[in-house]
Chain A
Amino acid sequence: MWTGVQWQGTISPGASKRWFTWGWPTAWHVVWYLMPTSAQPGAPELEWDVGVERANATQCTYWITVRNLVGQSVDFEGRFAVL
């Protein structure tokens, strides 16, 4: 398994925003998760959903929808692991 950070993002209070990342080999088993980089203790800051598109026989695009659950902007890393 190997891991990485695909992007760094900021999301406004209460907002929902979608990012996409393309050209991933479909043969890879990839999981996506987020990590806030702005500390705001006391409650969860982010939640996310992953959608996936088959672009062609060998490549896919991941669509990650991020929701900010708190009343302040949240900076975060979009992380992945190739299993």
Chain B
Amino acid sequence: MPPPVAPQRAQQLFDVCNRQLCCPASANPPCIPFSYPDDGCWGRAHEMCRLMIADGAQPEKVWIKGSLKPSSQNHPKCGFPGWLGWGWHVAPTLQVTTASGVQTWVIDPALFNGPTTQATWKSVQGDPSAVLKATAASMFFYKSFLYGGTDETDPTYVQTNAVLATYRNSLKLRSVTPDGPPPYFACMTKPPKVQWFGSLAANQTKSWFTWGWGAKWHVFWTMMPLTPCPGAPQLRWKVRVERANATQCTYWIRVTNLTGDPLKFEGRYDVLSW
């Protein structure tokens, strides 16, 4: 078993992996298609192990087999029964020193926004009787456990790169369907102070209006992309206002997608004074 690391180091290693996430519609190599949860976990896991090893860490892997029913905002059908889920799954692990002793934590940006305990990782996959097995990071495809057969390694990452390329393409294809890029509104609940969820095509500018706001209120509007795409600003917006009558106004918000990729966003408001 490798030496344990501090929780902060686990978070740092999670960030090393998550930094490689794909802009869904362009998905340029060497990005990792975390937002295509349907398939390809073994390629993602092997690439994440490569990145962590290059950073000086000693990850392992955990494999899970069962009738797995995860939920994800990044799948147009959100979860079971629309999306049938997985027969198995794999992700890298780290040994982490915690107040309650050394624990196995999982690095799985396809399911979580940070490192998570192995118990939590198992629980969100919806099958209490699922079976877990740990292996070394070098195990690329644990066929003897999953299907029966000969296990595979991939020391040159040729197979890993092929898996990643396949699912980058799947993510790109999905992003240009009517569903658009992830995340999917049907899987989300609107948080407080979010007036609307919007979609924009590549480089598109579009206006939204929202009426019936108290003219006495001091209202501030901000936009936040929901589709991650690191490296450059994605959105810009301008607010205009119309006085509809003595007491009410209508806000007209023009939002511009600054990128060549379609994206989704939320239109947020705050009332600074009533």
Contact = CB atoms under 8 A, between A and B. Distances in A.
Interface of A: 1, 20, 26-27, 29-31, 49-58, 60-61, 63, 83
B235 interface: yes
Contact of B228 (A30, A54, A63): A54
Given A53-B225, A53-B234, A56-B230, 4 more contacts: A52-B222, A53-B233, A54-B227, A83-B220
A53 B232 contact: yes
B193 A29 contact: yes
B113 A83 contact: no
Contacts of B193: 29
Interface string B185-209: 0000001010000000000000000
Contacts, number: 64
Contacts of B228: 54-57
A55 to B, nearest CB: 5
Contact of B225 (A27, A31, A54): A54
Interface of B: 18-19, 21, 109, 113-114, 191, 193, 220, 222-236, 258, 268, 270, 272
A55 B109 CA distance: 13
A27 B230 CA distance: 17
A52 B235 contact: yes
A29 to B, nearest CB: 5
A31 B231 contact: no
A26 B220 CA distance: 17
Given A30-B222, A31-B222, A51 B230 contact: no
Contacts of A26: 224
A63 B233 contact: yes
A83 B270 CA distance: 7
B222 A29 contact: yes
B220 A31 contact: yes
A57 B113 contact: yes
B113 A58 contact: yes
A53 B235 CA distance: 7
A83 B258 contact: no
A22 B220 CA distance: 22
Most buried by A among B113, B220, B225: B225
A33 to B, nearest CB: 10
B260 to A, nearest CB: 14
Contacts of A56: 18-19, 21, 109, 113, 228, 230
A60 B191 CA distance: 17
Contact of A51 (B21, B231, B234): B234
Contact of B229 (A51, A54, A63): A54
Contacts of A30: 222
B152 to A, nearest CB: 30
Contact of B233 (A29, A52, A58, A83): A52
Given A29-B270, A83-B270, A53 B222 contact: no
Contact of A50 (B113, B225, B236): B236
Given A29-B193, A31-B222, A49 B236 contact: yes
Contacts of B235: 51-52
B231 A54 contact: no
A4 B186 CA distance: 36
A16 to B, nearest CB: 14
B224 A54 contact: yes
